[in-house]
Structure 1
Amino acid sequence: MVNNKFVLPVIIACSLGPLSASAQPSYGSKVIGNYRFPDTLYSLMEEGIKIPVYLINNGTVSEKEKAAGNRYVRIGTVTLFVDGNKLGLREVEVQESGNGIRLSKEMSTLLQGIDNKKFNDQMQIPVKPGTAFQLDQKKMRLLLTLSQDDYGVQLRPREVDIDAPESDDLSGTFTYNLGAYHTRSGYGSNWTSGYLNARSWTSMGASHLLIDGSGYVNKDSHETQMNAIMLERDYQGMRYAAGLLSGWAMQSVASVSGISGGEVYGVSVGNQANSRKRDNTLSLTPIVLYFPSSGEARIRRDGQLIGIQRFDVGNHELDTSQLPYGIYTVEIEVVNGGRTVSRNIYTVNKPFSNNISQSLRWQLWGGVYNRDKAIINVEKYRKHKKSDDNTYYYDYDTHHKDTMSLVGASFGKRSGMLDWSASTYMMREQMVGEFWGSLNLSSYMSLNSQSMAASDGTWRANYGANMRLPWNIGSVWYTHEKLSSGRFLDLYENNGNTWGATFNLPSFGLPSAGNLSLTRQEDKAYHYKRYQVDFSQGIYAGRYGSARLRLGLSRYEYLNDEEKDRYVMLDFSIPIGNTVSVGVTHNRDSGTALNVNASRQFDGDYLKSASANIAKAFSSNEGQRDISGGGSVNFDTPWNSNILSVQSGTSKGWNATLTSSGSLGWSKEAFAAGRGTESAGVIVDTGLQGDDALTLKLNGRKEKLKGGKTWVSLPAYQNYDLEVMNSETGTESYDIGSNARRHITVYPGNTVVMKPSVKKIVTLFGRLVDEHGQPIGATQIKNHVGITRTEQDGRFVIDVDKNNPILSIATPDDSLCELRLDIESNRGALWLGDITCDKGNYVWQETNGMMERDNEKAIRS
């Protein structure tokens, strides 16, 4: 086959043209149908020549655009051949990826079937009714006209499996979170309480072992609890797990509120997996637009233009990732050359925090459930029976266990506007079913419901509604909860409701609109009511900061008791990271008090923020002093994050609280500790020392790297792009070579080690002169991290490795001069002044074509 990409157009332009009915063929050419082909081209066509295939944009293309060539879109190539004085086609190659055009499966199949087919008397090759190939003899190309049904559409995947793990080597992570407080009362008594939660993940690729435990210390007791010992593999959309989970941790498997306390020994399998990611930036319902020719889509919401996207000919999915979240309608115009081809209304369905898939999610699980034995408290039960026949009260025997079988299944799906999940499970002979659903009626209104029913008589009915008010003036919500316990499930009853509202009030010329919120909460089972009203209004915003007024009123009723609180606060924000609040509060116990609070944010590596508060009581029903206060500080170390707070009250007592969290990662290559409590991470080993600092760019955000090894804690089941680069604020400069960039995928327990090649460099400025002080130009100077040539006046600039500060200078007699520099104490850049090569600096000479060492030992300055 002959490739005629450059020769063929010349032959065509010079030799081809349509024949009239009376025309006679000239010497050296052949006629096929209405086309005359020179003998040279005809001989090429006997072997087969490739010509381009173009789609014809019809209908909306103006004459001006036709003249500009916008009527045709190239989609591939085809081989044109001649056989027995007949033209034919074979080897149709459609290139869809390069131009954004996608053909339907039916049309692609038909085009692939165009093999060794001949042109008919009308010089066409039919593909399907109404569609045929035709030859453009002037430009020697094949033309094809398609209808809307002939185009396909490439939909963006809503669910994507993450990549395989970085490696299958053994590695692990460990995280902890602890908190403790010590209280000393004004009466001399004191007590201490605290907790510690620790988690360990040991992994080999996508499989890992999780060990999760907690410890609790109170005044007179201490207790430990194992939350999980579980083997898990979550890969390519399927999750397999086996081991122990506490009753609390079972909520991570499915909605199983009937399981409280105790522990479960079992297994689970299903496609409710973290390794399959749902792209919630896309509308759940794709919006597909047809473009009869290349053009643009203009997107309007409530009459406002919110986006413009351009597409080529064919069917295309609108990129809804660029549109706001929510459920709303948009009007989309398809425009070509200033003309509106179509205008239609579509619905964008983008819930902000929705993880439910349009495909069915399922999980099967079961094992053995072990809990403390629950015994009905008959006295409480009989007393309560007077008002409610469906409520049972339990006492617990912690010395005896109630062991039973457990088997269950859970499901979840998005069906149109309804998101739902359901679980059904059996404990011993008791059946339990749970359901959760959320109905998104519109962008302004949603309903939700949660229910449970068990064969022992336990049932729960929770429902609620959320409504966003028009014109962005606020929102209103309502929820109702009721649970009645039976004789097997040991659950606490409730019977209450909550309603609330927020309103954005007119600003009346002030810097910002006022915000008013109202909340009412009631529970008939526990006989309490809460009311709260809050109002805030910006009163100043300018170059000196901002000021905001806050007012609040709350009331709490319990049985026949009532308590009211009130506050007035004025907040000042100073544009240097400081906030000061001054206000008055009042409640029944502490009376009226003047409160002053101040806080400051810091940008340092260790100290993050500090705050202090002081209160002056004017009247109080209790307490031994009228001034109280305290402070807190948020600080980091290279290994963890901490918050320390000390407060005093109106009595002579005080209280101190400390919280701390941190993590570490390990592998066969390295070990490091740091801040963060995620289940995976990366160790960046730069080989630097002390306070030397670099920057790690991680998916666009920047992390500081300090010293030799830095541990960066990362959420699992994610992809990350890493790049080690120079710090923007550091005084040192570094040459960062190989292994500075990396793309990784981490699963729980994965610790990835990144070892970039890093050399500390100093930029040297100087002038090379000879022994007489005359400048030496056009001379090469190099170091193993930099190379340069001197200017005519001898000046040069070069980067030098600080740990190997040697300059190698080429000399006119083919010798090499080496100068060792003392730059250990210098940072960033250094002016050397005039430098010269003395005899003692020559380390070798070239004599008679041979490299020989100088007899004289090299003396390096």
Structure 2
Amino acid sequence: MASTSVGYALPKGYGSVWGAFNRSEEGNKLYFTQSHSFDLGLSLNLKQVYSKLGSLNTSYNKDLRRGYSNTNIEYFQNLFYNRYANVGLRAGVQKSTYDNQRSDNDKYIFLDLSLPISRWFSAGINSRNSNLLANASYKQNFSDSVVQSVGVDLNQVIKRKNDYLNSDDFSASAYLAYQTSINAGTLSGSASSHSKSFNYSTQGSIASSNFDVGLGNNSLGSGLLIKTGLPRGTTMSALINGQDFKLTGNRNFIPLPPYKKYSVELRSDKHSMDSVSVGQGRKSTVVLYPGNVAKLEPEIKQMVTIFGRIRYPNGEIAANTQLNNHIGKTKTDNNGEFSLDVDKKYPVITLIRDNGDICESELALNKEQGVAWLGEISCVYKVASHSKNNLEARNHD
């Protein structure tokens, strides 16, 4: 087998030229498909000649073994650009020859429109062996979404001049690619005047470690099983060798390539309102081998920073009073207002009066994320005491 390529960049950014040659023969011990071909290419940046021009790309491919050749010439011109849209014009010709006999000749012109948020639209016409067709395409990519990308292509024969065009008068195709934490796949379909077809492809993996099972969205042969202890729908992030992975709910399996060392740091997801505090197991290092699943069980608290004003059962404002919870303490101001970090597993705050009375409030934080203003909060005395009774008697005097 012999293969070589060469390229040269023209001075002052005028463009580049390149060429490649490939040849291989069938062998007795190693199997290679027979091939004998060469490629030539030229790219010119015409803006260097005149600032309002675009770029010209040409290429030629010749398969010497099969007698196939292909010639492409395309010109691209940027027509309009601002923060809202980018409009470009593509025009070109393509000629394909088979066995030095049959040939296909294509000519096309397209208007390309690129929009913000990863959206792209193209429409135009092309001519194949004197048959005229209209084409339109739309594609869009999504970030931080289950749906990763969608696309639609439409083709309509405008003028059929001969039988060299082997297609129906109208055809359409579409696809949708998705990815979840447990599965990834693509749904595609196409339809024409006389046929329809649909295709669904998917991939995923199942991992187990010490009777814990996790699902992943690809099949790399090894990975991390992270048990967060968080309720369903709560998200956080795992930074693995500098790359962020989103964790959702209690169990998450992250497929990773084997034969590699990984540094893992667990933290809050910057794209989510959920806030977590990671104690033991915040940072760890693992080495993965084929079939190896490393299990991590960090100590994680789901946090909410709460704001509010607290009152005693009789309506009195709890001013300048010590306020405790499971993980910290603070003091209310003159108006009984406060701020405090709370672990959602232990949503109880406790007031301790100077006379020793204890007043508690159990907070409804199930639906709260990150930061929450709770407004007016009322506490309930934990135990009855003569001090409390005397206080209430004084308040009624």
TM-score (structure 2 length as normaliser)? 0.84
Matched, 1:596 2:139: no
State the Cα deviation string for residues 480-501 of structure 1 (Å, max 9, x = none). 2334557887654333322222
Describe how 1:652-671 pairs up with structure 2 within 5 A. Answer: 652-668=194-210, 670-671=212-213
Query: Structure 1 residue aligned with 2:236, among 694, 699, 703?
Result: 694
2:361, 2:379 within 8 Å by CA — same for their partners in 1?
no
Determine the C-alpha separation between the residues in 2 that align with 1:724 and 1:717.
22
1:815, 1:845 within 8 Å by CA — same for their partners in 2?
no
Determine the C-alpha separation between the residues in 2 that align with 1:618 and 1:763.
64
Determine the C-alpha separation between the residues in 2 that align with 1:646 and 1:533.
31
2:360, 2:379 within 8 Å by CA — same for their partners in 1?
no
Unaligned runs of 5+ in 1: 1-459, 847-861
The corresponding residue for 2:22 is: 481
Matched, 1:745 2:284: no
State the Cα deviation string for residues 232-263 of structure 1 (Å, max 9, x = none). xxxxxxxxxxxxxxxxxxxxxxxxxxxxxxxx
Determine the C-alpha separation between the residues in 1 that align with 2:253 and 2:364.
34
Aligned residues: 381
Query: Structure 2 residue aligned with 1:644, among 169, 187, 195?
Result: 187
Determine the C-alpha separation between the residues in 2 that align with 1:646 and 1:715.
32
The corresponding residue for 2:106 is: 565
Matched, 1:515 2:55: yes
State the Cα deviation string for residues 508-528 of structure 1 (Å, max 9, x = none). 444xx6232222122322222
Which of these two proteins has the greater Rg computed from alpha carbons? 1
2:361, 2:378 within 8 Å by CA — same for their partners in 1?
no
State the Cα deviation string for residues 310-333 of structure 1 (Å, max 9, x = none). xxxxxxxxxxxxxxxxxxxxxxxx
The corresponding residue for 1:584 is: 125
1:630, 1:646 within 8 Å by CA — same for their partners in 2?
yes
The corresponding residue for 2:74 is: 534
State the identity as a percent.
Answer: 24
Describe how 1:451-850 pairs up with structure 2 within 5 A. Answer: 460-483=1-24, 491-506=32-47, 508-510=50-52, 514-559=54-99, 560-588=101-129, 591-620=131-160, 621=163, 625-649=168-192, 652-668=194-210, 670-769=212-311, 774-827=316-369, 828-833=371-376, 835-838=378-381, 841-842=382-383
2:236, 2:274 within 8 Å by CA — same for their partners in 1?
no
In structure 2, the CA distance between the partners of 1:497 and 1:812, relative to structure 1 (3 Å rule), is same
The corresponding residue for 1:207 is: none
Describe how 1:369-448 pairs up with structure 2 within 5 A. Answer: none
In structure 2, the CA distance between the partners of 1:676 and 1:474, relative to structure 1 (3 Å rule), is farther
Amino acid at match of 1:754: L
Describe how 1:67-216 pairs up with structure 2 within 5 A. Answer: none
2:47, 2:55 within 8 Å by CA — same for their partners in 1?
no
The corresponding residue for 1:90 is: none
1:760, 1:803 within 8 Å by CA — same for their partners in 2?
yes
2:309, 2:338 within 8 Å by CA — same for their partners in 1?
yes
1:763, 1:797 within 8 Å by CA — same for their partners in 2?
yes
C-alpha displacement at 1:643, in angstroms?
1.2
Determine the C-alpha separation between the residues in 2 that align with 1:557 and 1:475.
26
State the Cα deviation string for residues 633-676 of structure 1 (Å, max 9, x = none). 11224422111111124x51223233222233332263211223
Range with bigger deviation, 640-649 or 815-824: 815-824
C-alpha displacement at 1:544, in angstroms?
2.3
State the Cα deviation string for residues 779-829 of structure 1 (Å, max 9, x = none). 322111332122244322112232322222222233444333344344441
State the Cα deviation string for residues 1-57 of structure 1 (Å, max 9, x = none). xxxxxxxxxxxxxxxxxxxxxxxxxxxxxxxxxxxxxxxxxxxxxxxxxxxxxxxxx
Unaligned runs of 5+ in 2: 388-397
C-alpha displacement at 1:845, in angstroms?
10
C-alpha displacement at 1:778, in angstroms?
4.2
In structure 2, the CA distance between the partners of 1:491 and 1:726, relative to structure 1 (3 Å rule), is closer
Q: Could you say what the CA RMSD is over the residues aligned between the two structures, in angstroms?
A: 3.0
C-alpha displacement at 1:556, in angstroms?
1.5
In structure 2, the CA distance between the partners of 1:613 and 1:809, relative to structure 1 (3 Å rule), is same
1:817, 1:843 within 8 Å by CA — same for their partners in 2?
no
Determine the C-alpha separation between the residues in 2 that align with 1:844 and 1:569.
85
Amino acid at match of 1:473: Y
Determine the C-alpha separation between the residues in 2 that align with 1:604 and 1:794.
41
2:320, 2:332 within 8 Å by CA — same for their partners in 1?
yes
Determine the C-alpha separation between the residues in 2 that align with 1:572 and 1:746.
45
In structure 2, the CA distance between the partners of 1:532 and 1:671, relative to structure 1 (3 Å rule), is same
SS at match of 1:506: helix
Determine the C-alpha separation between the residues in 2 that align with 1:648 and 1:616.
12
Amino acid at match of 1:803: K
Amino acid at match of 2:366: E
Determine the C-alpha separation between the residues in 2 that align with 1:490 and 1:600.
41
C-alpha displacement at 1:584, in angstroms?
1.0
Amino acid at match of 2:264: L
C-alpha displacement at 1:623, in angstroms?
6.1
SS at match of 1:471: helix
Amino acid at match of 2:61: Q
Determine the C-alpha separation between the residues in 2 that align with 1:820 and 1:465.
74
1:689, 1:707 within 8 Å by CA — same for their partners in 2?
yes
In structure 2, the CA distance between the partners of 1:627 and 1:636, relative to structure 1 (3 Å rule), is same
Range with bigger deviation, 750-759 or 774-783: 774-783
